[in-house]
């Protein structure tokens, strides 16, 4: 090797060392493991997972439209998680790293929360994609603090729901006033069995705890009497007939009776916009609008032998009796 070749070799080595140092210097002190950028979300609670250099950071703050959460870094581990609340539609997370009260790094994540009932949130922008957490790789990051195994027994509720291995990360899913029995008893794999249906076949193998969609086969595995009754009726409402019970109902918990996603009339008029216009124009004689009753006082939301899903007198009496019993 002549002198020129030696000089070139040294120059290449020096450039490689300098580039390596630059990469190291530019590496953020906090790495956002989850969520990924442009994630599509279907529930308002979200778990944020970060990997932190505890020598460089002593606190991480997560800020969004719903507020602020702080993660105190104690140096005993590298992976930390925190559950935050999102809002429907566009969300921007600001993940800020601090050392002795000084901001040393800030990163952002953009997310979108979709909803089947609100037309403005039903179809998210194309850049947002569904991401999945429960894979072997992701779960390995959490095992130092969390038992990631499934410890429920099929069909047997926990005496203390906090004993469920799912509870610590997902308890906010059941925080609302009205909670679905499988959820409030933490029988998660009754529905989250990892299977897929015709509506989500593309998700096969993406997560251990997928739910088959459409969901009617799962719903009717418990609600057998309802399934048999509604199937016998001449007219069936589209969400029921298409197997999408979760279009109107949230399978975890909601602030509203029967686990509906929002107040009944808001659900009905959200789809039946022509009726909403008639109400605004004051030319409707419907008791559900002019006397403050709900649409379901006269119409069955599931199925009926009468057109427009009208209930017969016997059905109305049963409904009124149930409501009267609740009010007492």
Q: What is the pLDDT of residues 227-265, one digit of tens each?
A: 999 999 999 999 998 999 999 999 999 999 999 999 998
pTM of the model: 0.79
Report yes or no: 62 and 71 within 8 Å, Cβ to Cβ. yes
The pLDDT of 194-199, averaged and rounded, is: 94
pLDDT at site 326: 47
pLDDT tens string 89-117: 999 999 999 999 999 999 999 999 998 88
pLDDT for 174 beyond 70? yes
pLDDT at site 327: 43
pLDDT for 4 beyond 70? no
Any idea which residue has 């006269």 for tokens? 298
DSSP-derived secondary structure for 40-93: EESSSEEEEEEEE-TTT-SEEEEEETTEEEEEE--SS-SEEEEEEE--SEEEEE
CB neighbour list of residue 110: distance below 8 Å, 6 or more residues apart: 37, 38, 90, 91, 92, 93, 128
Cα four-point dihedral sign 117, 123, 128, 131: positive
pLDDT for 317 beyond 80? no
**Per-residue confidence band for 316, with pLDDT thresholds at 50, 70 and 90:** low
Residues 150, 129: Cα–Cα separation, whole Å: 27
Higher pLDDT, 286 or 222: 222
Question: In Å, what is the CA distance from 175 to each residue of 151, 180, 219, 315?
Answer: 21, 11, 21, 32
pLDDT at site 185: 94
Q: Which two tokens stand for residue 315?
A: 């059905």
Comparing CA positions, the residue from 250, 236, 227 lying closest to residue 299 is 236
**Per-residue confidence band for 279, with pLDDT thresholds at 50, 70 and 90:** low
Residues 241, 214: Cα–Cα separation, whole Å: 11
Residues 29, 68: Cα–Cα separation, whole Å: 20
The pLDDT of 71-100, averaged and rounded, is: 93
**Per-residue confidence band for 21, with pLDDT thresholds at 50, 70 and 90:** very low
pLDDT at site 311: 83
pLDDT for 12 beyond 60? no
Q: Which two tokens stand for residue 323?
A: 């409501």
pLDDT at site 9: 58
pLDDT for 119 beyond 90? no
The gap from C-alpha 235 to its chain's centroid, in whole angstroms, comes to 32
List the Cα angle 144/132/109 in 5-degree steps. Answer: 90
Sketch the domain layout of the chain as residue ranges. Answer: 29-131, 214-327
What average pLDDT does the structure give for the chain?
Answer: 85
Q: Which two tokens stand for residue 64?
A: 């969004």
Q: Which superfamily, per CATH, for 29-131? A: Immunoglobulins (2.60.40.10)
Kind and range of the H or E run holding 31: strand 30-34
Report yes or no: 128 and 39 within 8 Å, Cβ to Cβ. yes
Residues 245, 236: Cα–Cα separation, whole Å: 12
């Amino acid at each position: 090797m002549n002198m020129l070749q030696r000089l070139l070799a040294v120059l290449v080595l020096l450039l490689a060392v300098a580039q390596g140092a630059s990469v190291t210097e530019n590496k953020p002190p906090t790495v956002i493991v989850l969520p990924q950028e442009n994630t599509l979300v279907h529930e308002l609670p979200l778990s944020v997972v970060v990997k932190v250099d505890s020598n460089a950071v002593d606190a991480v703050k997560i800020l969004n439209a719903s507020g602020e959460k702080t993660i105190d870094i104690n140096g005993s581990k590298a992976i930390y998680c925190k559950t935050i609340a999102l809002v429907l539609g566009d969300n921007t997370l600001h993940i800020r790293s601090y050392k002795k009260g000084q901001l040393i790094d800030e990163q952002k994540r953009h997310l979108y929360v979709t909803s089947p009932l609100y037309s403005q949130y039903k179809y998210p922008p194309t850049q947002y994609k569904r991401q999945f957490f429960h894979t072997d790789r992701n779960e390995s990051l959490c095992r130092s603090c969390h038992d990631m195994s499934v410890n429920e027994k099929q069909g047997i509720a926990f005496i203390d729901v906090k004993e469920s291995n799912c509870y610590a990360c997902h308890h906010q899913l059941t925080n609302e006033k009205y909670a679905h029995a499988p959820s409030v008893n933490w029988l998660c794999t009754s529905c989250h069995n990892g299977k897929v249906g015709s509506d989500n076949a593309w998700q096969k193998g993406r997560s251990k705890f997928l739910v088959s969609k459409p969901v009617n086969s799962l719903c009717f595995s418990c609600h057998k009497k309802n399934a048999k009754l509604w199937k016998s009726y001449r007219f069936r409402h589209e969400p029921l007939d298409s197997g999408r019970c979760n279009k109107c109902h949230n399978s975890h918990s909601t602030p509203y009776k029967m686990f509906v996603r929002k107040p009944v009339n808001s659900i009905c008029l959200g789809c039946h916009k022509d009726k909403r216009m008639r109400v605004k124009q004051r030319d409707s004689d419907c008791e559900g609008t002019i006397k403050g009753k709900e649409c379901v006082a006269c119409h069955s939301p599931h199925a009926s032998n009468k057109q427009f899903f009208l209930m017969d007198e016997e059905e109305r009496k049963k409904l009124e009796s149930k409501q009267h019993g609740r009010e007492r």
